[in-house]
């Protein structure tokens, strides 16, 4: 099993550009999450999904969009990138809401200039 994979690993965007961060898991997990991690701050939940076709906002959803058309994939879309979106983005998955473990992807380091 590859677990949770994310692409790209690194990206530099100009202000106002858009991009999609890809996330795929092969563990047949129902729950998937997008977090951002800023230096000196805890992980912040952007969006999460409880299954294909169902998504919901987390703590910091503004400026982002998600979709979940399959169990495996959970892409994160940035529209009109801003410097405040410079961060490391982690995708994670878990079998259920009560699961003890979330499995994280390797992260995408995004810089917006």
**Closer CB to other proteins, 17 or 103, in the complex:** 103
Beta-carbon count within 10 A of 11 CB: 17
**Closer CB to other proteins, 14 or 100, in the complex:** 100
**Closer CB to other proteins, 75 or 103, in the complex:** 103
Residue 83: helix, strand or coil by DSSP? helix
The enclosing H or E element of 95 equals: none
The footprint of other proteins (CB under 8 A) covers 40-45, 48, 58-59, 90, 97-98, 100-107
The answer to whether the beta carbons of residues 5 and 24 sit under 8 Å apart is yes
How far apart are CB 107 and other proteins at their closest, in Å? Answer: 6
């Amino acid at each position: 099993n590859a677990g949770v994979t994310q692409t790209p690993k690194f990206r530099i965007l100009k202000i106002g550009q858009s991009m999609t961060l890809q996330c795929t898991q092969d563990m047949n997990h129902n729950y998937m999450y997008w977090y951002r991690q800023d230096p000196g701050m805890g992980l912040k939940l952007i969006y999460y999904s409880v299954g294909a076709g169902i998504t919901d906002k987390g703590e910091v959803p503004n400026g982002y969009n998600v979709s979940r058309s399959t169990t495996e994939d959970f892409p994160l879309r940035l529209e009109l990138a801003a410097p405040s979106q410079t961060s490391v983005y982690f995708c994670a998955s878990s079998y259920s809401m009560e699961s003890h473990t979330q499995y994280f992807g390797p992260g995408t380091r995004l810089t917006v200039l």
